[in-house]
Structure 1
Amino acid sequence: MLQKILQYDIQISKKFVDMSHSITALRSLRIHSKLLEVSCHGIVWLAGWLTFIWLFNSKDLYQLQVNMLIALLLDIVVIAILKAFVRRRRPVPMNKLVPGNPDKYSFPSGHASRAAMVAFILICIDPVSMLFYPPLLAWVTSVCMSRVLAERHYILDVLAGVGIGVLEGLFMSILWFSQSTSQSILTSLSDEKRDGGEYHV
Protein backbone atom coordinates (compact mmCIF):
# COMPACT_ATOMS: atom_id res chain seq x y z
CA MET A 1 0.00 0.00 0.00
CA LEU A 2 2.82 2.39 0.92
CA GLN A 3 4.61 1.69 -2.36
CA LYS A 4 1.42 2.45 -4.28
CA ILE A 5 0.94 5.73 -2.44
CA LEU A 6 4.54 6.77 -3.11
CA GLN A 7 4.27 5.82 -6.78
CA TYR A 8 1.04 7.76 -7.11
CA ASP A 9 2.73 10.72 -5.42
CA ILE A 10 5.56 10.60 -7.98
CA GLN A 11 3.10 10.53 -10.88
CA ILE A 12 1.00 13.42 -9.57
CA SER A 13 4.12 15.48 -8.84
CA LYS A 14 5.41 14.90 -12.37
CA LYS A 15 2.07 15.94 -13.89
CA PHE A 16 2.12 19.08 -11.75
CA VAL A 17 5.62 19.97 -12.97
CA ASP A 18 4.66 19.29 -16.60
CA MET A 19 1.53 21.43 -16.20
CA SER A 20 3.65 24.35 -15.01
CA HIS A 21 5.03 24.83 -18.54
CA SER A 22 1.61 25.93 -19.80
CA ILE A 23 0.40 28.00 -16.83
CA THR A 24 1.97 31.43 -16.46
CA ALA A 25 1.71 31.68 -12.66
CA LEU A 26 3.30 28.26 -12.13
CA ARG A 27 5.98 28.98 -14.72
CA SER A 28 6.85 32.18 -12.85
CA LEU A 29 7.11 30.26 -9.59
CA ARG A 30 9.44 27.77 -11.22
CA ILE A 31 11.63 30.57 -12.58
CA HIS A 32 11.89 32.17 -9.13
CA SER A 33 12.23 28.87 -7.26
CA LYS A 34 15.90 29.51 -6.42
CA LEU A 35 15.09 32.86 -4.80
CA LEU A 36 12.22 31.26 -2.86
CA GLU A 37 14.53 28.44 -1.81
CA VAL A 38 17.05 30.90 -0.37
CA SER A 39 14.27 32.90 1.33
CA CYS A 40 13.39 29.88 3.47
CA HIS A 41 16.74 28.12 3.78
CA GLY A 42 17.57 26.93 7.29
CA ILE A 43 21.05 28.45 7.43
CA VAL A 44 19.82 31.77 6.02
CA TRP A 45 17.03 31.96 8.59
CA LEU A 46 19.26 30.93 11.48
CA ALA A 47 22.06 33.35 10.58
CA GLY A 48 19.58 36.10 9.77
CA TRP A 49 17.71 35.66 13.03
CA LEU A 50 20.90 35.69 15.10
CA THR A 51 21.86 38.91 13.32
CA PHE A 52 18.40 40.31 14.06
CA ILE A 53 18.84 39.49 17.77
CA TRP A 54 22.28 41.09 17.78
CA LEU A 55 21.26 44.30 16.02
CA PHE A 56 17.88 45.03 17.60
CA ASN A 57 18.13 45.40 21.36
CA SER A 58 14.52 46.06 22.38
CA LYS A 59 12.65 44.56 25.31
CA ASP A 60 9.52 44.39 23.17
CA LEU A 61 11.32 41.98 20.81
CA TYR A 62 13.07 39.73 23.34
CA GLN A 63 10.22 37.22 23.60
CA LEU A 64 9.82 36.77 19.85
CA GLN A 65 13.60 36.72 19.31
CA VAL A 66 14.22 33.89 21.79
CA ASN A 67 11.19 31.76 20.96
CA MET A 68 11.64 32.01 17.20
CA LEU A 69 15.31 31.04 17.58
CA ILE A 70 14.30 27.96 19.57
CA ALA A 71 11.64 27.14 16.97
CA LEU A 72 14.16 27.36 14.12
CA LEU A 73 16.59 25.07 15.94
CA LEU A 74 13.75 22.66 16.72
CA ASP A 75 12.71 22.56 13.07
CA ILE A 76 16.25 21.84 11.86
CA VAL A 77 16.66 18.97 14.33
CA VAL A 78 13.22 17.44 13.66
CA ILE A 79 13.60 17.54 9.87
CA ALA A 80 17.16 16.16 10.01
CA ILE A 81 16.05 13.22 12.18
CA LEU A 82 13.01 12.43 10.01
CA LYS A 83 15.04 12.60 6.78
CA ALA A 84 17.69 10.30 8.21
CA PHE A 85 15.00 7.86 9.36
CA VAL A 86 12.74 7.86 6.27
CA ARG A 87 15.52 8.20 3.64
CA ARG A 88 13.23 8.86 0.71
CA ARG A 89 15.26 9.89 -2.32
CA ARG A 90 14.67 13.22 -3.98
CA PRO A 91 13.26 13.42 -7.51
CA VAL A 92 15.67 12.15 -10.17
CA PRO A 93 17.27 15.52 -11.07
CA MET A 94 18.37 15.88 -7.43
CA ASN A 95 19.77 12.36 -7.02
CA LYS A 96 23.10 13.55 -8.45
CA LEU A 97 24.02 15.17 -5.15
CA VAL A 98 27.24 14.23 -3.40
CA PRO A 99 26.96 10.81 -1.68
CA GLY A 100 26.58 11.12 2.07
CA ASN A 101 25.03 14.58 1.80
CA PRO A 102 21.95 14.53 4.11
CA ASP A 103 20.25 16.93 1.70
CA LYS A 104 19.79 14.08 -0.79
CA TYR A 105 16.75 12.92 1.18
CA SER A 106 13.35 14.25 0.25
CA PHE A 107 10.85 13.50 3.01
CA PRO A 108 9.76 15.77 4.61
CA SER A 109 10.39 19.19 3.10
CA GLY A 110 12.33 21.37 5.52
CA HIS A 111 11.48 24.50 3.56
CA ALA A 112 7.75 23.74 3.81
CA SER A 113 7.93 22.98 7.54
CA ARG A 114 9.95 26.11 8.26
CA ALA A 115 7.65 28.36 6.24
CA ALA A 116 4.52 26.91 7.87
CA MET A 117 6.03 27.17 11.35
CA VAL A 118 7.14 30.79 10.91
CA ALA A 119 3.71 31.74 9.54
CA PHE A 120 1.97 29.94 12.42
CA ILE A 121 4.06 31.80 14.99
CA LEU A 122 3.60 35.21 13.36
CA ILE A 123 -0.14 34.74 12.88
CA CYS A 124 -1.32 32.63 15.82
CA ILE A 125 1.20 32.96 18.67
CA ASP A 126 2.81 36.40 18.39
CA PRO A 127 0.60 38.05 15.76
CA VAL A 128 1.98 40.70 13.46
CA SER A 129 -0.30 43.30 11.87
CA MET A 130 -3.07 41.80 9.72
CA LEU A 131 -1.65 43.78 6.82
CA PHE A 132 1.20 41.27 6.71
CA TYR A 133 -1.04 38.17 6.65
CA PRO A 134 -1.65 38.10 2.85
CA PRO A 135 2.04 38.46 1.83
CA LEU A 136 3.08 36.02 4.56
CA LEU A 137 0.60 33.36 3.41
CA ALA A 138 1.49 34.04 -0.23
CA TRP A 139 5.17 33.47 0.62
CA VAL A 140 4.40 30.17 2.38
CA THR A 141 2.29 28.97 -0.57
CA SER A 142 4.91 30.04 -3.10
CA VAL A 143 7.74 28.34 -1.20
CA CYS A 144 5.78 25.09 -0.92
CA MET A 145 4.73 25.00 -4.56
CA SER A 146 8.18 25.98 -5.80
CA ARG A 147 9.74 22.98 -4.02
CA VAL A 148 7.74 20.66 -6.26
CA LEU A 149 8.11 22.77 -9.40
CA ALA A 150 11.90 22.93 -8.92
CA GLU A 151 11.83 19.12 -8.53
CA ARG A 152 13.40 19.27 -5.10
CA HIS A 153 10.46 17.41 -3.52
CA TYR A 154 7.34 15.44 -4.25
CA ILE A 155 3.91 16.77 -3.28
CA LEU A 156 3.65 14.38 -0.31
CA ASP A 157 6.99 15.68 1.03
CA VAL A 158 5.67 19.24 0.99
CA LEU A 159 2.31 18.37 2.57
CA ALA A 160 4.09 16.47 5.33
CA GLY A 161 6.43 19.44 5.81
CA VAL A 162 3.49 21.83 6.24
CA GLY A 163 1.88 19.46 8.75
CA ILE A 164 5.10 19.17 10.73
CA GLY A 165 5.53 22.96 10.68
CA VAL A 166 2.05 23.43 12.16
CA LEU A 167 2.77 20.79 14.84
CA GLU A 168 6.03 22.56 15.66
CA GLY A 169 4.08 25.80 15.95
CA LEU A 170 1.59 24.16 18.32
CA PHE A 171 4.47 22.79 20.38
CA MET A 172 6.02 26.25 20.58
CA SER A 173 2.70 27.70 21.72
CA ILE A 174 2.92 25.38 24.74
CA LEU A 175 6.65 25.95 25.32
CA TRP A 176 6.50 29.72 24.64
CA PHE A 177 8.85 31.48 27.04
CA SER A 178 7.64 34.55 28.89
CA GLN A 179 9.05 38.04 28.43
CA SER A 180 11.11 37.83 31.64
CA THR A 181 12.48 34.37 30.82
CA SER A 182 13.38 35.47 27.31
CA GLN A 183 15.18 38.52 28.64
CA SER A 184 17.09 36.34 31.12
CA ILE A 185 18.17 33.99 28.32
CA LEU A 186 19.43 36.83 26.16
CA THR A 187 21.16 38.43 29.13
CA SER A 188 22.99 35.19 29.88
CA LEU A 189 24.08 34.89 26.25
CA SER A 190 25.31 38.44 25.77
CA ASP A 191 26.37 41.24 28.09
CA GLU A 192 25.25 43.65 25.41
CA LYS A 193 21.61 42.75 26.12
CA ARG A 194 21.98 43.75 29.78
CA ASP A 195 20.98 47.36 30.38
CA GLY A 196 23.81 49.10 32.20
CA GLY A 197 26.17 46.16 31.69
CA GLU A 198 29.86 46.66 31.29
CA TYR A 199 29.67 46.08 27.53
CA HIS A 200 26.23 47.57 26.95
CA VAL A 201 25.93 49.60 23.74
Structure 2
Amino acid sequence: MNENNMLKKMAQLDQSLFLMVFNGNAPNWLRNSALGFSKTGDGGLYVLIAVGFGWLSNEPELRLLAMTLLLGFLIERPIYYVAKNSFARIRPCDCLIKGAYIVPSDKFSLPSGHSAGAFLVAVVLAQYFPELISLWFLWATCVATSRVLLGVHFPIDVVLGALMGSSCGLLAILLVATL
Protein backbone atom coordinates (compact mmCIF):
# COMPACT_ATOMS: atom_id res chain seq x y z
CA MET A 1 0.00 0.00 0.00
CA ASN A 2 1.51 3.33 -0.99
CA GLU A 3 1.68 6.36 1.28
CA ASN A 4 -1.20 8.17 -0.43
CA ASN A 5 -3.56 5.19 -0.03
CA MET A 6 -2.56 4.81 3.60
CA LEU A 7 -3.31 8.49 4.29
CA LYS A 8 -6.70 8.13 2.59
CA LYS A 9 -7.51 5.06 4.71
CA MET A 10 -6.49 6.91 7.87
CA ALA A 11 -8.68 9.87 6.92
CA GLN A 12 -11.62 7.54 6.26
CA LEU A 13 -11.13 5.86 9.62
CA ASP A 14 -10.91 9.26 11.30
CA GLN A 15 -14.16 10.36 9.63
CA SER A 16 -15.88 7.11 10.65
CA LEU A 17 -14.75 7.55 14.25
CA PHE A 18 -15.97 11.15 14.20
CA LEU A 19 -19.40 10.07 12.98
CA MET A 20 -19.56 7.44 15.74
CA VAL A 21 -18.83 10.07 18.43
CA PHE A 22 -20.62 13.16 17.12
CA ASN A 23 -24.38 13.11 17.49
CA GLY A 24 -26.33 15.98 15.98
CA ASN A 25 -29.15 15.12 18.39
CA ALA A 26 -27.07 14.68 21.54
CA PRO A 27 -29.00 14.86 24.82
CA ASN A 28 -28.84 18.23 26.59
CA TRP A 29 -26.73 16.89 29.48
CA LEU A 30 -24.06 15.63 27.07
CA ARG A 31 -24.05 18.77 24.95
CA ASN A 32 -23.92 20.99 28.06
CA SER A 33 -21.13 18.92 29.61
CA ALA A 34 -19.12 19.14 26.38
CA LEU A 35 -19.70 22.89 26.20
CA GLY A 36 -18.55 23.29 29.81
CA PHE A 37 -15.37 21.27 29.36
CA SER A 38 -14.61 23.03 26.09
CA LYS A 39 -14.94 26.43 27.78
CA THR A 40 -12.40 25.42 30.45
CA GLY A 41 -9.94 24.94 27.58
CA ASP A 42 -10.51 28.39 26.05
CA GLY A 43 -7.44 29.84 27.81
CA GLY A 44 -8.87 32.00 30.58
CA LEU A 45 -8.40 29.26 33.17
CA TYR A 46 -4.73 28.98 32.22
CA VAL A 47 -4.20 32.69 32.86
CA LEU A 48 -5.91 32.37 36.26
CA ILE A 49 -3.69 29.42 37.18
CA ALA A 50 -0.53 31.24 36.15
CA VAL A 51 -1.47 34.50 37.88
CA GLY A 52 -2.85 32.74 40.95
CA PHE A 53 0.12 30.46 41.44
CA GLY A 54 2.86 32.63 40.06
CA TRP A 55 2.39 36.22 40.84
CA LEU A 56 0.04 36.10 43.82
CA SER A 57 1.93 33.39 45.67
CA ASN A 58 4.99 33.73 47.85
CA GLU A 59 5.80 30.02 47.40
CA PRO A 60 8.86 29.53 45.16
CA GLU A 61 7.53 26.15 43.95
CA LEU A 62 4.26 27.74 42.79
CA ARG A 63 6.17 30.49 41.03
CA LEU A 64 8.11 27.78 39.18
CA LEU A 65 4.79 26.21 38.19
CA ALA A 66 3.64 29.51 36.69
CA MET A 67 6.97 29.95 34.88
CA THR A 68 6.74 26.40 33.53
CA LEU A 69 3.21 27.01 32.23
CA LEU A 70 4.25 30.26 30.58
CA LEU A 71 7.29 28.68 28.97
CA GLY A 72 5.19 25.71 27.84
CA PHE A 73 2.76 28.01 26.06
CA LEU A 74 5.60 30.07 24.58
CA ILE A 75 6.85 26.83 23.01
CA GLU A 76 3.44 25.38 22.08
CA ARG A 77 1.62 28.35 20.54
CA PRO A 78 4.03 28.98 17.61
CA ILE A 79 4.15 25.26 16.81
CA TYR A 80 0.36 25.13 16.96
CA TYR A 81 -0.10 28.08 14.59
CA VAL A 82 2.43 26.79 12.06
CA ALA A 83 0.96 23.26 12.15
CA LYS A 84 -2.64 24.49 11.94
CA ASN A 85 -1.96 26.62 8.88
CA SER A 86 0.36 24.09 7.25
CA PHE A 87 -2.04 21.15 7.52
CA ALA A 88 -5.04 23.38 6.74
CA ARG A 89 -7.44 20.53 7.44
CA ILE A 90 -11.07 21.54 7.03
CA ARG A 91 -13.19 21.09 10.16
CA PRO A 92 -15.80 18.31 10.18
CA CYS A 93 -18.58 20.87 10.68
CA ASP A 94 -17.56 22.44 7.36
CA CYS A 95 -17.16 19.29 5.27
CA LEU A 96 -18.84 16.26 6.85
CA ILE A 97 -21.86 17.38 8.87
CA LYS A 98 -24.26 20.28 8.83
CA GLY A 99 -23.10 22.56 11.59
CA ALA A 100 -21.65 22.06 15.02
CA TYR A 101 -22.81 22.95 18.51
CA ILE A 102 -20.38 25.86 18.60
CA VAL A 103 -18.78 28.24 16.13
CA PRO A 104 -15.03 27.54 15.98
CA SER A 105 -12.62 30.46 16.28
CA ASP A 106 -10.81 29.57 13.05
CA LYS A 107 -11.37 27.46 9.95
CA PHE A 108 -8.85 24.64 10.35
CA SER A 109 -8.97 21.65 12.67
CA LEU A 110 -5.55 19.97 12.86
CA PRO A 111 -4.20 20.06 15.54
CA SER A 112 -6.72 20.87 18.25
CA GLY A 113 -5.48 23.85 20.23
CA HIS A 114 -7.87 23.11 23.09
CA SER A 115 -6.42 19.61 23.39
CA ALA A 116 -2.85 20.89 23.17
CA GLY A 117 -3.43 23.49 25.86
CA ALA A 118 -5.29 21.14 28.19
CA PHE A 119 -2.65 18.43 27.98
CA LEU A 120 0.18 20.94 28.39
CA VAL A 121 -1.49 22.19 31.58
CA ALA A 122 -2.21 18.63 32.78
CA VAL A 123 1.44 17.60 32.33
CA VAL A 124 2.70 20.67 34.20
CA LEU A 125 0.16 20.35 37.02
CA ALA A 126 1.00 16.64 37.33
CA GLN A 127 4.65 17.61 37.85
CA TYR A 128 3.79 19.97 40.71
CA PHE A 129 0.77 18.13 42.16
CA PRO A 130 1.39 14.45 41.34
CA GLU A 131 -1.18 13.26 43.86
CA LEU A 132 -3.88 14.67 41.55
CA ILE A 133 -2.48 13.27 38.28
CA SER A 134 -5.66 11.30 37.51
CA LEU A 135 -7.78 14.43 37.91
CA TRP A 136 -5.53 16.52 35.64
CA PHE A 137 -5.54 13.95 32.83
CA LEU A 138 -9.25 13.17 33.19
CA TRP A 139 -9.98 16.88 32.80
CA ALA A 140 -7.65 17.20 29.77
CA THR A 141 -9.24 14.14 28.16
CA CYS A 142 -12.70 15.63 28.72
CA VAL A 143 -11.61 18.91 27.09
CA ALA A 144 -10.22 17.02 24.09
CA THR A 145 -13.25 14.74 23.75
CA SER A 146 -15.60 17.72 24.01
CA ARG A 147 -14.15 19.14 20.81
CA VAL A 148 -15.22 16.03 18.87
CA LEU A 149 -18.60 15.86 20.64
CA LEU A 150 -19.23 19.50 19.68
CA GLY A 151 -18.49 18.76 16.03
CA VAL A 152 -15.44 20.98 15.49
CA HIS A 153 -12.62 18.39 15.47
CA PHE A 154 -11.88 14.96 14.12
CA PRO A 155 -10.50 12.42 16.63
CA ILE A 156 -6.96 12.55 15.18
CA ASP A 157 -6.98 16.36 15.65
CA VAL A 158 -7.40 15.98 19.40
CA VAL A 159 -4.95 13.06 19.67
CA LEU A 160 -2.22 15.01 17.85
CA GLY A 161 -3.07 18.13 19.85
CA ALA A 162 -2.75 16.14 23.08
CA LEU A 163 0.62 14.74 22.01
CA MET A 164 1.86 18.17 20.99
CA GLY A 165 0.72 19.81 24.24
CA SER A 166 2.13 17.01 26.39
CA SER A 167 5.48 17.25 24.61
CA CYS A 168 5.63 21.02 25.05
CA GLY A 169 4.74 20.65 28.73
CA LEU A 170 7.49 18.08 29.24
CA LEU A 171 10.02 20.25 27.41
CA ALA A 172 9.07 23.25 29.58
CA ILE A 173 9.49 21.14 32.74
CA LEU A 174 12.94 20.03 31.59
CA LEU A 175 14.02 23.56 30.68
CA VAL A 176 12.81 25.09 33.97
CA ALA A 177 14.61 22.32 35.88
CA THR A 178 17.89 23.53 34.38
CA LEU A 179 17.47 27.04 35.81
TM-score, scaled relative to structure 2 = 0.79
Offset of 1:60 from its aligned partner?
3.2
Q: Distance in 1 between matches of 2:142 and 2:168?
A: 20
Residue identity opposite 1:30 in structure 2: R
Q: Which moved more, 1:143-152 or 1:69-78?
A: 69-78
Mark the CA change 1:56 to 1:171 in structure 2 (over 3 Å): closer, same or farther: same
TM-score by length of structure 1 reads 0.71
Partner of 1:175: 175
For residue 13 of structure 1, the aligned residue among 14, 18, 38 is 18
Pairwise mapping of residues 100-115 of structure 1 onto structure 2 (< 5 A)?
103-115=106-118
Q: Deviations over 1:139-168 (max 9, x none)?
A: 112111111000110001011111112221
Q: Deviations over 1:14-64 (max 9, x none)?
A: 12213984xx8xx7443222221221113x145324532333243332211
Where structure 1 has 5 or more consecutive residues not aligned to the other structure, the ranges are 182-201
CA distance in 1, matches of 2:50, 2:120: 18
State, as a whole percentage, how many aligned pairs show the same letter: 26
RMSD (Å), alpha carbons? 2.7
107, 119, 122: which one pairs with 2:125? 122
Output the amino acid matched with 1:41. D
Which amino acid in 2 is paired with 1:175?
L
Matched, 1:146 2:146: yes
Alignment of 1:153-168 (within 5 A): 153-168=153-168
Task: Return 5+ residue gaps in structure 2 as ranges.
Answer: 94-98
Larger Rg: 1
| Whole-angstrom CA distance in 1 between matches of 2:111 and 2:170 | 18
Count of residues in Structure 1 that have an aligned counterpart in Structure 2: 167
